[in-house]
Homo-oligomer: A and B are copies of this chain.
Amino acid sequence: MVERAGGGLSVVLADGQSSGKGAKRISNLVVRKVIGLLAEGVRDGAAARAASDYLYHERRGKVLATLNILSIDLGTQTLVTTRNNPSPVLLAQGQEITTLAEASSPIGIYRNTRPVIHEAELRPGLCVMMFTDGLEHAGDRKGQSLPVNELFKSLLAGHAPAQEMADQFMTQALDLDDGRLVDDVSVVVLQVSDHTGDLVRRMHVRLPLGPIAAP
């Protein structure tokens, strides 16, 4: 996540090919590139194309990564969704859901890969959910799958806050894979709600460390 040069925030989600440390390195490389450009004021579409060229050049067209950028752009007062990812992004305005699923290619394997961009007016009631394709693969081993759209719809109907929505998707994905996911899964939920409270910005992060050496 990065603060935009012109005001607002962007969440950058990349998923490098395969899994483990190699994939993590690719994901980090792509995210770092995009975040650096956004922080300097480069527009989302140009940042995605730059990341694609960079990965293509760096890995000679042999490694692909999916890339999503979700931006609150205070300059234009819009919510901008940028996809280089076959997986859809779900966008709700109130209870009305739009599936952003226009054909879109991952970056890194072709020259001139262009992202698919969608803009929506920034207003209360907007809710966007994006995820890596691992979410769609949860349960594959059992021939099951997560009903992503249905769950999104029911959480919207219950007015679940963003954190609870993301938690529900993660919990159900983990359950489908008996606690050990087949593929890496990241879920991002963004909600625009009516403002209440102070003007303080807050960030809360929990990072499970696994076992720490005993004192």
Contact = CB atoms under 8 A, between A and B. Distances in A.
Interface of A: 1, 3, 5, 8-9, 28, 32, 36, 39-40, 72, 74, 77, 121-124, 162-163, 166-167, 170, 174, 192, 195, 197-213, 215
A9 B207 CA distance: 8
B207 A205 contact: no
A187 to B, nearest CB: 9
B163 A204 contact: yes
A39 B28 CA distance: 8
A79 to B, nearest CB: 11
A107 to B, nearest CB: 19
Question: Nearest 3 pairs between A and B by C-beta?
Answer: A204-B204, A202-B206, A199-B208
A198 B208 contact: yes
A65 B72 CA distance: 27
Given A36-B32, A77-B213, A174 B198 contact: yes
Contact of A207 (B28, B201, B204): B201
Contacts of A209: 72, 74, 122, 192, 195
A133 B214 CA distance: 36
Contacts of A204: 162-163, 202-205
Contacts of A201: 205-208
Given A28-B3, A203-B205, A205-B203, A123 B163 contact: no
Q: Which residue of A39, A167, A192, A207 has the most chain B CB atoms within 10 A of its CB atom?
A: A207
